[in-house]
């Protein structure tokens, strides 16, 4: 599982087109649809805290969990700057621990795809069940196999911005259903015309809805619905991102 290392310093520049506020709107529409009014929310795989900030601004009591201390340092700086009382914890989501239960757990921007083994995904779901209040919601998204195989495929992408650039090589291994990201990014050094190169390698796994549904059930969670991202329509064969809405039903 990648830790994002030096990329944490420029991550937000490359993610600035992501409509986090609209994502927050969608999460709240899910709350409304299921007539649920959570107060305390944990975000697994929170990264630099963009979604955590969005939800904290909407008066939810937020906890952010991420494996990368570098990412969390950026997230904490945002919280201090915006005077937000957000608890950030450096933990592996496969082994996360809380001091008590919460009303809702979120994982946005394909965090669950970073779990490469079914038994480890099951363990995440078991922990979610353990730390959700009775009747609490677990909402997460996943990239689909269609996206990995047909959209990302074995392609190369690049982006150039002020003082930064990246080259992203993508490889999808169909038999293992593993997607490999090799990202080389270049950061201009202060008071210099030189750029420093860093490389990050990340892996994600494609899971079928049937696999995820089975693991959720085994973990004591109830799958309420699966949606094509940012809608309340069922996924299609060409859905690139799907959302799972899950309810805690037993300890």
The per-residue pLDDT for range 227-244, each reduced to its tens digit, is 999 999 999 999 999 999
Q: Are residues 97 and 201 in the same domain?
A: no
> Does residue 160 share a domain with residue 174?
yes
Alpha helices in 115-244 (DSSP H): 118-131, 145-146, 209-218
Q: Are residues 170 and 63 in the same domain?
A: no
Q: 178 with 198, same domain?
A: yes
Other Cβ atoms closer than 10 A to 77: 12
**Per-residue pLDDT reduced to its tens digit, 119-145:** 999 999 999 999 999 999 999 999 999
Q: What is the pLDDT of residue 3?
A: 43
Amino acid 10: pLDDT: 64
Residues 147/25/63/83 CA torsion (nearest 10 deg): 130
Looking at the structure, tell me whether residues 14 and 102 fall in a common domain: yes
Q: What pLDDT, on the 0 to 100 scale, is given for residue 225?
A: 98
Residues 9 and 83 reside in one and the same domain: yes
Ranges of residues in the chain whose predicted pLDDT is under 70:
1-16, 250-251
Residues 63 and 27 in one domain: yes
CA 162/CA 46 separation, integer angstroms? 25
Domain containing residue 178: CATH number = 2.20.25.110
Q: Which helix (H) or strand (E) holds 89?
A: strand 87-90
Looking at the DSSP bridge assignments, the partners of residue 188 are 195
Q: For the chain, give me the number of helices (H) and strands (E)?
A: 7, 11
CATH (domain of 10): 3.40.50.150
For the sheet with 164-173, list strands across it. 156-161, 164-173, 178-188, 195-205
Is the domain of 128 the same as that of 151? no
Chain centroid to CA 14: how far? 16
Per-residue confidence (pLDDT) for residue 170, from 0 to 100: 94
- Same-domain check for residues 139 and 240: yes
In 10 A of CB 16, how many CB atoms?
10
Question: CA–CA separation, 138 vs 43, rounded Å?
Answer: 10
Angle, helices 118-131 vs 209-218, to 10°: value is 50
Domain that holds residue 115: 5-143+207-248
Provide CB contacts within 8 A for 4, sequence distance 6+.
11, 47, 68, 70, 71, 200
Pick the closest to residue 134 from 221, 62, 216, 65 (CA basis).
Answer: 221
Helix (H, G, I), strand (E, B) or coil at 63: strand
The total domain count for the chain is: 2
Report pLDDT for 195: 84
Name the β-bridge partners of 87. Answer: 63
Exposure of 82 in the CB half-sphere (CA atoms within 13 A): 17
Q: For residues 188 and 179, what is the distance between their CA atoms, to the nearest angstrom? A: 29
222 and 184 within one domain: no
Q: Are 100 and 185 part of one and the same domain?
A: no
Given strand 87-90, what is the order of strands in its sheet?
Answer: 87-90, 61-66, 40-44, 102-107, 132-143, 241-248, 221-228
9 and 125 assigned to the same domain:
yes
């Amino acid at each position: 599982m990648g830790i994002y290392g030096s990329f944490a310093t420029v991550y937000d520049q490359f993610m600035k087109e992501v409509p986090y506020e609209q994502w927050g709107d969608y999460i709240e529409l899910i709350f409304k649809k299921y007539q649920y009014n959570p107060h305390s929310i944990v975000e697994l795989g929170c990264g630099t805290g963009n979604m955590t900030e969005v939800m904290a601004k909407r008066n939810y009591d937020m906890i952010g969990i991420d494996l990368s201390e570098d990412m969390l340092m950026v997230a904490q700086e945002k919280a201090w700057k915006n005077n937000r009382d957000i608890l950030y914890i450096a933990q592996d989501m496969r082994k996360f621990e809380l001091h008590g239960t919460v009303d809702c757990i979120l994982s946005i921007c394909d965090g669950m795809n970073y779990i490469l083994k079914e038994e480890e995904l099951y363990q995440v779901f078991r922990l979610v069940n353990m730390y959700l209040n009775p009747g609490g919601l677990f909402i997460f998204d996943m990239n689909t196999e269609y996206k990995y195989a047909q959209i990302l495929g074995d392609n190369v992408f690049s982006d150039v911005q002020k003082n930064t650039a990246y080259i992203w090589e993508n490889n999808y291994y169909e038999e293992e259903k593993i997607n490999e990201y090799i990202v080389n990014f270049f950061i201009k050094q202060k008071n210099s015309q030189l750029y420093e190169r860093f490389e990050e390698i990340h892996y994600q796994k494609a899971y079928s809805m049937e696999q995820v549904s089975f693991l959720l059930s085994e973990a004591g969670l109830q799958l309420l619905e699966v949606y094509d991202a940012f809608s309340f329509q069922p996924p299609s064969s060409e859905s690139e991102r799907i959302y799972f809405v899950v309810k805690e039903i037993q300890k």
